[in-house]
Amino acid sequence: MAWKMVRISPNNWNWRYHWSSQSLRDFLPLHYYHSTHFPSTVILNSIITPISLITKGFSTVSLAMENPKATAHKEFPLGLDEWTEEEYAVQSKLLQQFTNISNIDKAWIFNSDNGVSQGMFSISQPDVLANKRRKFILSSTISKESNGSVRFQWAPFPIAMSGVSTMVSSPSGSKLLVVRNPESEGPCRFEIWSQSHVEKEFHVAQSVHGSVYTDGWFEGISWNSDETSIAYVAEEPTPAKPAFNGLGYKKGGSTDNDTGSWKGQGDWEEEWGETYAGKRQPALFVINITSGEVQAVKGIDKSLSVGQVVWAPSTKGLEQYLVFVGWSFVIRKLGIKYCYNRPCALYAVKAPHHNESQANKTDIHCADVAQLKMSRHLTLHKPLIVLSFHGSDGKFLVFLSARSSVDSGAHSATNSLHRIDWSSDMKMSQSRKVYDVLAVVMCAEDGCFPGLYCFSILSSPWLSDGYTMIISSIWNSSQVLLSVNVLSGEVFCITPTDSNFSWNLLSLDGNNILAVSSSPVDVPQVKYGVIVEKENDNNEWSWSDVSDPIFKCSDEVRSLTSSLKFSVMKISVKDASVSPMKGAHKPYETIFVSSKAKKSDTCDPLIVILHGGPHTTSLTSFSKSLAFLSALGYSLLIVNYRGSLGFGEEALQSLLGKIGSQDVKDVLNAIDHVINLGLASPSKIAVLGGSHGGFLTTHLIGQAPEKFVAAAARNPVCNLALMVGTSDIPDWCYAETYGTMGSERFTEAPSAEDLTQFYSKSPISHISKVKTPTLLLLGAQDLRVPVTNGLQYARALREKGVQHKVIVFPNDVHGIERPQSDFESFLNIGVWFKKYCK
């Protein structure tokens, strides 16, 4: 043995002892050796004093008086050594430069009569020091030149928007609602802004409602047409809890200021899972912006969680109605984040009148709230997402249906788009005919529209013709912009077809489009699109770059990304004969990122990147974290295995019931493809994935243990048999294990047969073969794949003696997205791969 013990005595003498084989048990008190692991350097305070005892069993004893500064032992932070610390210093500087790149969250364009528009951009940037995101507003004047070009004149500096939860402009663009949710138990603040100042500010107490939902799911804030009222979704007020004092139960409860009593917990309430811990039931409210009066919309069944509210068009003098989505549950609230297969329906409710007498304010009956009567049942168990009413006079309501998700059990699938004709004087009792605008595409021909994969929409996505809407949708491995004629069902891709860049829709400027375009190696670029009229109404879109200060990056980042290139590869399927579906036989895609520099003798190390879901997609868009890894000198193989969105419903459904086999084979097939092309060395391959991507990562190092020199997994699914009893989405385990039969088998009490099947599908069933050094990054507050999954796998690796490292982020959920956690996560990934790949 080569253990070294150091004692720093009060008079600065250094006592060094080097022992051979005798155990520490002979010299240390019990509390020093009950652990099975000893540090390489042990600092002893005064537990050994007699020289004779010290010398017993040691091969060498030395006593020297030295300069303590010259011999002081350097202590490294937990988990670091000298090499790792140096890599931390180098890589963190580069990662910080990528992290500093801003992002456009939202944009508004306000039109004027003189051909000049005003643009307002909501921008965010990670603030790693404060561990939150900075939010600010940057304005621009948009001028259309006589030659058809457009010029953006930006404000010199952005304006910080501290504490702002969300902003929503009024239909005319003359007012802006700013919502500031409380960080503790204070009131929710509503501010009504005009062009130059705050016109009104209202504070809504917690006894009325909690925070306004701004989650992108239940979120819904809608101005009425005359801009006097705003409907929105907020948390219900906290229910009364049982109170107790020194004599026992206290009737009548207690107040927060009552120091002589305390509140109990009361009954446990179901929540909507991941990211909704501690959030109360979403409910519907209306605020009058003249008086500040807030009313809860009455008559909605307590079993419904409401969201995505919009005002129905109405005629002056007639009743006003609100249309919203209502999610219901029977046994429990299953996790809803990223899960589009949760039962919901469209509802309409009569809006409260703010000029009613107090006695009549709550006189709204349940009969006034009803599912919209439709000619076909696209309601209960056929999830819907309200998109938009067209115009103040109505015309029609369009909405998405996620019926494919419900029917198959997949958490996300191919959408369909529908239209309901709607007039402003239509009665709620009238039946509404539902028209199919875009149906689910099962299997598209090469180069044709693969189906609709749209998950966000502008509040006003309409062109001036009154029937064309502009939306974003996934098309294979890219996100594109589509124009959809909601009367004829015609759909066109309006972004350039000669590039594999991805596009994100920001706003419409009349009939023109403001968007962002990027690629894995190109920092986002603001684009402005105008229609170029052609003969036979075959119009095209012309796109120009907008010089903007938003996506500025350092010279080093610009230089590093400019030295990279990317391509989209189609990979032929090897085992499609086992599937009867045509879509399962079609090629899938990978995105390959590499250096432009040609190297004749060697290949850069390869990192295989695997997305989660599994029914999501890795897009050809810019990712700061992946660009950072590319800049370190790695090639990236980003695999969209069968089951990913964007390739038709049959390809997606082909994975259900085959996780851990079909997806694993697709990834190995893609790796072999680039090796055979001479683009990767088989001896320098690492793998990285999160969630289901972590499931694949840990499967791959078990099923192909010789293939990978390093692995990193973020909140991985390692043991379905453990996850099914602890996750907010146990139904996911059944759907992905049993396929379309999963919904029939789903139960909160899995059978022994189920648990055996779950285990056999899990990476931990291959743990005995794993030898790859593995980094595990875990969020302690993860409700989707609870931290116990990753910790069990890590302990199994330790038991086998496999090199591994575990970092647990105590306040993070499934995404590990808090700025400090995201930074530390990818810094450690970079260092880990450098240690084993280079």
Do the Cβ atoms of 218 and 201 come closer than 8 Å?
Answer: no
Residues in the chain: 838
Q: Torsion over CA of 296, 300, 303 and 309, rounded to 10 degrees? A: -70
Which of 754, 782, 812, 822 is flagged as catalytic?
782
What φ, ψ does residue 423 adopt, rounded to 5°? -110, 155
Q: Which residues contact 318 (CB under 8 A, 6 or more apart)?
A: 425
Residues paired with residue 107 on neighbouring β-strands, in sequence order: 121
Evaluated on CA atoms 46, 47, 50, 52, the torsion sign reads: negative
Separation between Cα atoms, residue 706 and residue 702, nearest integer Å:
9
Do the Cβ atoms of 546 and 151 come closer than 8 Å?
Answer: no
Separation between Cα atoms, residue 193 and residue 110, nearest integer Å:
15
Other C-beta atoms lying within 10 Å of the C-beta of residue 301: 11
Which of 390, 585, 804, 814 is flagged as catalytic?
814
Do the Cβ atoms of 785 and 795 come closer than 8 Å?
Answer: no
Joined together, the tokens standing for residue 7 give 């004692």
What are the DSSP calls for 783-806, one per residue? SSS-HHHHHHHHHHHHHHT--EEE
Separation between Cα atoms, residue 786 and residue 670, nearest integer Å:
30
> What does the angle CA 342 – CA 346 – CA 348 come to, to the nearest 5 degrees?
145
Other C-beta atoms lying within 10 Å of the C-beta of residue 563: 13
What is the 8-class DSSP label of residue 740?
G
Do the Cβ atoms of 483 and 508 come closer than 8 Å?
Answer: no
**Going edge to edge, which strands form the sheet with 229-235?**
221-223, 229-235, 282-288, 294-296
Separation between Cα atoms, residue 401 and residue 379, nearest integer Å:
9
Separation between Cα atoms, residue 829 and residue 838, nearest integer Å:
13
Residue 691 among the catalytic residues: yes
Rounded to whole angstroms, the maximal C-alpha distance in the chain is: 103
Which of 691, 762, 765, 821 is flagged as catalytic?
691
Joined together, the tokens standing for residue 306 give 């409401």
Do the Cβ atoms of 156 and 138 come closer than 8 Å?
Answer: no
Joined together, the tokens standing for residue 141 give 């004047």
Do the Cβ atoms of 372 and 321 come closer than 8 Å?
Answer: no
Residues designated as active site: 691, 782, 814
